Structure formats: C-alpha cells, structure tokens
Structure 1
Amino acid sequence: MRIRPLAALSVVALTTLLLAGCSGSAAPDATPSPTSTASSACGLDPKSGADSDAVTVSGAAPQLTAEVPTDLAFTDLQRTIATEGDGDDLAIGQLVSGQYQIIDPSTGEVQLDSADTSADDTGLVPLIVDGNSIIGSAVLCTPLGSTTAFTIPGSMLGDGASNVVVVAQSVDELPTAATGDDQEPVAGMPTVELADDGEPTITVADDFQAPDTTQIATLKKGDGATVESGDTVIVQYTGVLPDGTVFDSSWQRGAPAQFQTTGVVQGFQKALEGQTVGSQVIAVIPAAEGYGEAGQGSIPANSPLIFVVDILGVQRAATAE
C-alpha cells in the first residue's frame, strides 16, 4: 500500500491506533498486552447522526467507495449502517474478513484502503470484532455483510489529531483457531493438548533446558498467506513459563489479538515470520530473545518463554511513497 506522502507517518500511526484500541500495548517490544474489555456488549456503541448519515458508501468489498462532505461537524462519535447485511449480528471475539478505508474528511481523499494491504488476491483483510477499537467497533453489533460509515472526532484520538472518517464492510466469518493439517510432534518440545474450542494446554517436562536460540515446531500447517516482516498478524496464543504457569493468553481474554511482527520480542517475531495462515506453532524462547534480565510483569528476569500460537490472519504493512 502506498500512503499519501503528506500524511504518511500520521496515517501509519492512526491505523495502528484504530486497530489496537484505546488502551494500547504497555511496551512497543512486548508480547501482546491485554486491553480493557468494553462493558457494553456493543462496545463503543456509536449511534447514527447527521455526520455519519451524510457519508455515502457505495460498492461492496473489496471495492468500497465513499463520498464524504467537507462540512461535517464532528461533535461526537457516530456510525450509520449504510447497507444492512443478511447475516447474524457480529459479537465481540469473532473474526471476519472485510475491507475498511480511512478517509481525510477535509479533502475526501482515501488515506488508506485496506484492500491494498490484503495478503492474497481476495482484496480482503481479517478484522477482529471488538468493543474497544474503532475498526472493530465499525462492524460490531451489525449483521454480517453490512457496510458502515464511522465519523470520529480528532479529540477522541489524542492531542492534535485530525477528524477521521472510516467506512467498512464485513464479508465472511473466519475461524478463531488454527485449521491447518496436523503435523508430527517434534521430540524434545513441550507437549500440547487442545480443548474443543482449540485452546491449548502446554505441558513442560521437569527436565526442561532452555535452548540458546528460539526453537520452533509446527503443530498444524495452514495453506494461507505467508507472514512477512512488519505485517499485522491476527493470532490466538498462550504463553507459559518453564514451570507451566500461564502468564498471558488471548484465549483467556475471549478474543484474538493483533500486532505487528516487529512489535514483539525477538523470539516471538521468529515464531511468526515465514509461517502461513491457518498454522499453529510452538516456540521455546530463551531469555535472551525474550525479556532478558529485565523481565516483564509476571515474567521473572532471565526466564525462558514457551508459546503456542494459532496464526489466523495477516495484513501487509503500509509503506510511504
């Protein structure tokens, strides 16, 4: 994706904010940090208003188009369902394919079109349905297949931020656990058992010895797009310490997580890049490629980490002209 040169840095940062939600990550090099769960089943629960009603959305993903008046008031957050789909209402924790556009309301120009960052020839990207991010809330509590127009005051996005319009459409529901073909276990790796919903339980041997460099084994092999450096990856994951203590889990929070491969610790990045969507991998990460001497939260200093990661979707990184 080529971003307009005058807005390149701001659009990259804005896209990250719109995808990640209001609370964000505690540290840029951390494994994914829990984000607050909105109290309402419909999250931000935006209502329609004069601004969002005035945005005209046409076409269907991956070829959405929108006309945005330049005189919108942006007095509050508004969302209008431009076209209602015929699927079930989407709920927090689901994953769907779709398209979104970020539009500069002062000019009507599309600053970023997710269709240009699709990792395959569908032109679609994966969208986590959630209640604390703008993109997730664009489709939350709307019937699958709906198109929406979202008008967002800059004051909601931080000091000095500009007003933004987002249009989006959900297309198909995607699985929230890896669906690839089972692979033969690798000797010496921790064992993994899966619950009916796909959540893993990881058992670490009593004589566990941390490797010198990250060791990775494929548990399920998917046939989707390959993860590249800098991509935004949608995953389910569980992380445990060598004593089996779970220190982080998207499964326990009830929704997949998303982050750039370059925004996590080195060992976790190694576990993601080069893998295919639909795959499940186990990674044993030495402290030197994790949090090292500093530790992180409940992770002690100099602790190895073990992760099981389901790779559910990927979106290519945007680049400036």
Structure 2
Amino acid sequence: MRFRPLAALSVAAVSALLLVGCSSSSPESTPTPTDTAGADLCSVAAPEGDVASSITVSGEVGAVPTVEFETPLEITTSERAVAVEGDGDAISDGDYVSYALGIYDATTGEPLQEAGFDGTALPAMPISVGSGPDVFFGCATEGSRIVMTVPDAGSGAQVYVIDVLDIVPADAWCAVSEPTGEFPSVEFDADGNPTVTIPDAEAPADVQLEVLEEGDGATVEAGDSVTVDYQGVKWSDGSVFDSSYERGEPATFATTGVVTGFQRALEGQTVGTKLVVSMSPGCGYGEEGSSTHELAGETLVFVVEIIETTPAE
C-alpha cells in the first residue's frame, strides 16, 4: 500500500518547533499530546512576537506573496503573526485544512518553496491539538494569511507564510456515500483475483462505496490495524497501479496510515466484507499539481477484502 504523509509542512520546521519551543520561557511551552489535554487550537498556537510582526507580506491571499524583511533576520524562537484575518469559519480541532505555503531563507530572504498558490492548494491535512501543525495554524479563520518564524533545525532559520484556503469539518471530509451513477464493476476469478471494469462515465467528485459482500466479523474502528487484500485502479484508464493480489500476500497497516478515502472506506466495515470504493483526487493523493506524486490528480478505485482487524493500542 502506498502511504501519504499527513502533513506537507516540512519535517524540519515541525521538529524545530518541538525542540526549541514556542517561547523562550521553558521547553514545556511546546504543546505535546500530554500537556495539551483540555487545550484548544487557539491556546496552542505559537505566540505573537516582534520578529514575526516585522515581516511585511503583500499580495492577495491565495496568490504567491511578496515577502520583505531585513536580512539576515535573527530568529531564536518561534513566533506567529496573522498578516491577514480571514472572514471565514475558524479551524476547530480535527478539521481538514487546504492551504498554500511559502518558505523563505531568513538569512538571504530567498524563497525556498512556494506551493499551493494560484488555484492549486496543497492536499488538505487534519489540524488537531498536539499534532505539530497546530502550532502553525492555531484556530485561524478561512481566508487568513499567517506568518511564522522557524528557528534553525539544521537547514537554517526560515520564514513561513501560510494561506488558509479552505476548512472542512472532520466528519464531512471525504465522507462516504453510496454510488449515484454508473460505477465500477468487479468480477473475481476462480482463484479469487479481481478484475475491475471502469464505466464510460464521469468520475464521482467524492468518495462513493458499494459493498459487494458483507462480512460478519469484527468492526473496523478508527486507528485499527487491518489486514486486507486490495487492488487499486485508475478511473482515467483502468490500469492497475497497486495490488496485493498480484503480490500474493495481504497488506497490514493502520487505517490512519493511508490516504483519507481509503481510511473512510475501511472504518465501520466488518471483517469478511468485500467492497469497491471510488475516491476523488482530494481524498487520495491530491489534485493535479498539488504534489509530485504520480497519482496526484487521479480518481482512484479500490476493490478491498477485509481479512482481519486489530484494535489500536
């Protein structure tokens, strides 16, 4: 099974926040799953500061920004400033956020990465207390532009500009529905290997699922470790891109370790169930241009047989 990281924010940046902390008062000021119990996204966001506030960012939210600051910019702590306050809903714990991201070298001011702007948002990710990205986003509102200073964690100090483009509640993101039109069909041969036929029709714009055979085993709960046989097919041309059937060995993974559409298809089903699910690009590997993944922009179809589930520890 191919996995997609939950966050496209650089690992170095999140590590810097976790190691250095959000203020110079104490290492414990950095949120962790333990000390954020009962906290909310507003309270765990990085604090405001003079360095972040000194950075000038211009241009429309959603477009590549013009970022100006005196170089070299000395960054010793993580700070956050809201350059533009959006008028949309605020992020709630667990919401999925689509965003654009610019990263700039604090020493030279040169852009290191600019992605998700001009109509092609980066793949949405869940923002929850204690996750790491919560320090960046906090409870920002849709349409906001955030400026962050990130201390050196091995790649030099950096300035982040994050545009909050869209917010979807956790329970609505990639929610599963029954097929509403022509849908892929599946035939199994004598050895139990599937053949998926894609209809000559437009791909669904959401996650749609058909149960082929309902099992009577245990229910797959959120975060469970599941063992499945599966085959993945592109809606665009019907080609198989991944198959445990072809490898001759089932795959085992946590439901939270796969793309969201696949996770939604598994959770709530029972062991022994066979199903076919179609997921739009946003619930798979992202819209075309949002990443370099070879499956970005593809509507994916999976036929799945759930063999076993083990509760998360």
TM value normalised by structure 2:
0.53
Distance 1:72 1:171, change over 3 A: same
Task: Report the counterpart of residue 46 of structure 2 in structure 1.
Answer: 46
Q: CA deviation at 1:49?
A: 1.1
Deviations 1:45-69 (A, max 9, x none): 2111122112222112123222243
Of 130, 142, 145, which residue of structure 1 is paired with 2:127? Answer: 130
Q: CA deviation at 1:124?
A: 2.9
C-alpha distance in structure 2 between counterparts of 1:147 and 1:210, whole Å: 55
Q: What amino acid maps onto 2:163 in structure 1?
A: Q
C-alpha distance in structure 2 between counterparts of 1:127 and 1:296, whole Å: 21
Q: CA deviation at 1:41?
A: 2.1
SS in 1 for 2:116: helix
Q: CA deviation at 1:101?
A: 0.8
Query: What root-mean-square deviation, in Å, do the aligned CA atoms of Structure 1 and Structure 2 show?
Result: 5.1
Distance 1:179 1:161, change over 3 A: same
Q: CA deviation at 1:78?
A: 1.5
Q: What amino acid maps onto 2:122 in structure 1?
A: V
Distance 1:57 1:311, change over 3 A: same
Q: What amino acid maps onto 2:291 in structure 1?
A: A
Of 144, 154, 157, which residue of structure 1 is paired with 2:142? Answer: 144
Structure ID, larger Rg: 2
CA contact 1:210–1:286 (8 Å) conserved in 2: no
Q: CA deviation at 1:311?
A: 4.0
Of 164, 169, 172, which residue of structure 2 is paired with 1:170? Answer: 164
C-alpha distance in structure 2 between counterparts of 1:73 and 1:133, whole Å: 27
Superposed, 1:1-321 pairs within 5 Å as 15-17=9-11, 39=37, 40-42=39-41, 44-59=44-59, 60-115=61-116, 122-131=119-128, 132=130, 135=133, 137-155=135-153, 160-174=154-168, 176-178=173-175, 182-183=180-181, 211-212=192-193, 221-223=203-205, 244-246=217-219, 249=222, 267=230, 270=232, 286=245, 288=247, 295=252, 310-311=279-280, 313=282, 314-315=286-287, 316-318=290-292
Sequence identity percentage: 22
Q: CA deviation at 1:114?
A: 1.2
CA contact 1:176–1:236 (8 Å) conserved in 2: no
| Contiguous gaps of at least 5 residues in structure 2 | 1-6, 17-31, 237-241, 256-270, 294-313
Distance 1:304 1:221, change over 3 A: same
| Contiguous gaps of at least 5 residues in structure 1 | 1-12, 23-34, 190-208, 225-234, 253-264, 276-282
Q: What amino acid maps onto 1:140 in structure 2?
A: G
C-alpha distance in structure 2 between counterparts of 1:166 and 1:289, whole Å: 45
CA contact 2:58–2:65 (8 Å) conserved in 1: yes
SS in 2 for 1:154: coil
SS in 2 for 1:182: coil
CA contact 2:72–2:108 (8 Å) conserved in 1: no
C-alpha distance in structure 1 between counterparts of 2:273 and 2:150, whole Å: 39
TM value normalised by structure 1:
0.52
C-alpha distance in structure 1 between counterparts of 2:208 and 2:137, whole Å: 20
Q: What amino acid maps onto 1:48 in structure 2?
A: E
C-alpha distance in structure 2 between counterparts of 1:87 and 1:130, whole Å: 16
C-alpha distance in structure 1 between counterparts of 2:65 and 2:141, whole Å: 17
SS in 2 for 1:138: helix
CA contact 2:45–2:136 (8 Å) conserved in 1: no
Higher mean C-alpha deviation, range 177-186 or range 167-176: 177-186
Distance 1:245 1:185, change over 3 A: farther
Distance 1:187 1:91, change over 3 A: same
CA contact 1:58–1:65 (8 Å) conserved in 2: yes
Q: What amino acid maps onto 1:288 in structure 2?
A: R
Deviations 1:163-210 (A, max 9, x none): 222111113334512588624566668xxxxxxxxxxxxxxxxxxx98
The structure whose RCO (Cα within 8 Å, separation 6+) is larger is 1
